[in-house]
């Protein structure tokens, strides 16, 4: 059949689009050697980092077990797994997961017929996210296959899928509620519901009956340095930056973790330590303070003096400044962050002074570039010149303020000329005789013409005193 012999009702644009789509599918299918098997993908996930690295293995124990189960399921379906997506240590309460988003992007561009998962809760623990992911896969003509559950496209399979998704969401919400209840009870009893701060250690011991006991003990390597930090800052002779440098020189470092090595305590971390009531023996959880059962590293009086010093040095203009300027601490960017001073030195040795946005350094989305200090000073001076009151407009002080600031007349101008004094009486008469030059002279008002009242108006039949006129008849 040639193009001239095609029926007139066929849309040529749609035909070309179908041909191009078929070519892409054929090219993609040829690129992936499936040996005639059904192309499939698998999605593997564990909830915590501990599961992903358990027993010192690179993938832990759960990920390899899920991979083997997915491979057995693929063999039963006569499919071959062409792509594997692994999510190590990510919660399924949100769909914003890197491997999941990569999988959804992959299925829109590659011919896949099956998506194999171990359980429904591996894909999502939220019914809305589960419905969106399932709809995305169905739009791409991909069947969702569970290794341990029957969730095919039959009515009973779809009902089972909805029930399992609801159970997965209930499990997550109920577990969070139970964990929160246990942590609140532990805090009310003086325990530490979270990781102990620097200067303490979380330890696990076993009692005589083999029960595990989780407790908090004092860190012998860092406890004395934490106590020194409180005692030194309470004197008022230290700043956060100088005290952090002193603690670094004395050897105070953070606790190492499998992901991060130990490092010196920064100024921000030191401020967090000094404001933490845990060191005085209190446990704060969800906005409520409880008496802790752990050993305190500082007494309450010293801790309160530290808070007073921090509040006093937090006032504007009282912080030690490397680059001091009279406008520092008073300028704000349009994004709401403070403007800070930077003094870079060029290759020629010339130092340039700029005001830059502190929010841009914190990556809050601000795009304001650095501004030279001279330009800011010129703009502020120009603004203040425009704010200066005009000499003909009088004082810029409000009238209410002038009335409070102006002293009484009898205090600043004694009245020596009184009516009892002859000279005073003469001056008073002379003042009354001539009008004051400061008093306005209004033009004479025209005589008021009183309108005649209506014949039946009550005012016509009454006297100026209000009495009826008929009562005045007969009076002399």
- The count of C-alpha atoms lying within 13 angstroms of the C-alpha of 261, restricted to the half-sphere facing its C-beta, is 1
Query: CA 70 to CA 198: how far, in whole Å?
Result: 44
Of 42, 47, 62, 146, the catalytic one is 47
Structure tokens at 471: 């009562």
Structure tokens at 293: 């059962």
User: 461 with 452: CB under 8 angstroms?
Assistant: no
Reply yes or no on whether 436 is catalytic: no
Phi, psi dihedral angles at 324 (to 5 degrees): -85, 145
| Local structure of 381: helix, strand or coil | helix
Query: 287 — alpha (psi -120 to 50), left (phi > 0) or beta?
Result: left
Query: CA 340 to CA 333: how far, in whole Å?
Result: 10
Other beta carbons less than 10 A from residue 409's beta carbon: 9
End-to-end CA distance of the chain: 134
Angle of CA points 253, 257, 259, to nearest 5°: 120
User: 293 with 189: CB under 8 angstroms?
Assistant: yes
Q: Where are the beta strands (DSSP E) in 219-298?
A: 282-285, 288-291
Helical pair 223-234 and 240-250, crossing angle rounded to 10 deg: 150
DSSP notation for 267-283? HHHHHHHHT-GGGGTEE
Phi, psi dihedral angles at 438 (to 5 degrees): -85, -10
Residue positions annotated with a catalytic role: 47
């Amino acid at each position: 059949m040639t193009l001239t012999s095609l029926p007139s009702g066929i849309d040529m644009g749609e035909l070309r689009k179908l041909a191009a789509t078929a070519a892409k599918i054929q090219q993609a299918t040829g690129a992936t050697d499936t040996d005639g098997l059904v192309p499939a993908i698998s999605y593997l996930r564990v909830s915590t980092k501990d599961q992903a690295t358990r027993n010192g293995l690179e993938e832990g124990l759960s990920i390899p077990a899920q991979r083997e189960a997915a491979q057995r399921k693929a063999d039963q379906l006569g499919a071959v797994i062409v792509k594997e997506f692994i999510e190590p240590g990510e919660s399924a309460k949100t769909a914003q997961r890197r491997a999941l988003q990569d999988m959804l992007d992959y299925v829109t561009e590659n011919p896949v017929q099956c998506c194999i998962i171990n359980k429904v809760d591996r894909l999502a623990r939220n019914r809305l996210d589960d419905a969106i992911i399932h709809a995305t896969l169905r739009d791409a003509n991909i069947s969702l296959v569970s290794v341990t559950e029957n969730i095919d496209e039959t009515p009973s399979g779809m009902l089972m899928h909805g029930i399992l998704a609801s159970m997965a969401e209930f499990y997550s919400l109920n577990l969070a509620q139970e964990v929160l209840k246990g942590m609140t009870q532990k805090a009310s009893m003086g325990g530490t519901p979270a990781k102990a701060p620097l200067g303490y250690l979380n330890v696990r011991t076993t009692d005589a009956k083999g029960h595990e006991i989780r407790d908090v003990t004092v860190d012998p390597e860092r406890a004395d340095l934490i106590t020194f930090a409180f005692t030194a800052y309470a004197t008022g002779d230290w700043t956060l930056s100088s005290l952090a440098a002193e603690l670094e020189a004395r050897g105070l470092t953070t606790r190492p973790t499998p992901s991060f090595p130990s490092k010196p305590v920064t100024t921000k971390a030191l401020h967090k330590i000094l404001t933490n009531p845990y060191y005085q023996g209190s446990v704060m959880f969800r906005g409520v303070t409880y008496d802790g059962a752990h050993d305190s590293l500082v007494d309450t009086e010293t801790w309160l003096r530290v808070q007073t010093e921090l509040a006093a040095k937090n006032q504007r203009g009282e912080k030690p400044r490397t680059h001091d300027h009279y406008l520092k601490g008073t300028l704000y960017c349009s994004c709401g962050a403070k403007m800070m001073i930077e003094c870079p030195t060029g290759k020629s040795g010339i130092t340039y002074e700029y005001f830059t946005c502190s929010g841009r350094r914190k990556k809050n989305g601000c795009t304001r570039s650095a501004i030279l200090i001279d330009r800011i000073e010129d703009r502020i001076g120009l603004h203040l010149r425009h704010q200066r009151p005009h000499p003909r407009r009088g004082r810029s002080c409000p009238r209410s303020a002038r009335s409070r600031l102006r002293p009484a007349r009898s205090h600043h101008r004694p009245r020596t000329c009184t009516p009892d004094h002859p000279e005073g009486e003469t001056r008073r008469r002379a003042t009354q005789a001539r009008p004051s030059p400061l008093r306005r002279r209004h033009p004479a008002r025209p005589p008021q013409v009183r309108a005649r009242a209506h014949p039946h108006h009550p005012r016509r039949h009454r006297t100026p005193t209000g009495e009826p006129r008929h009562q005045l008849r007969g009076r002399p």
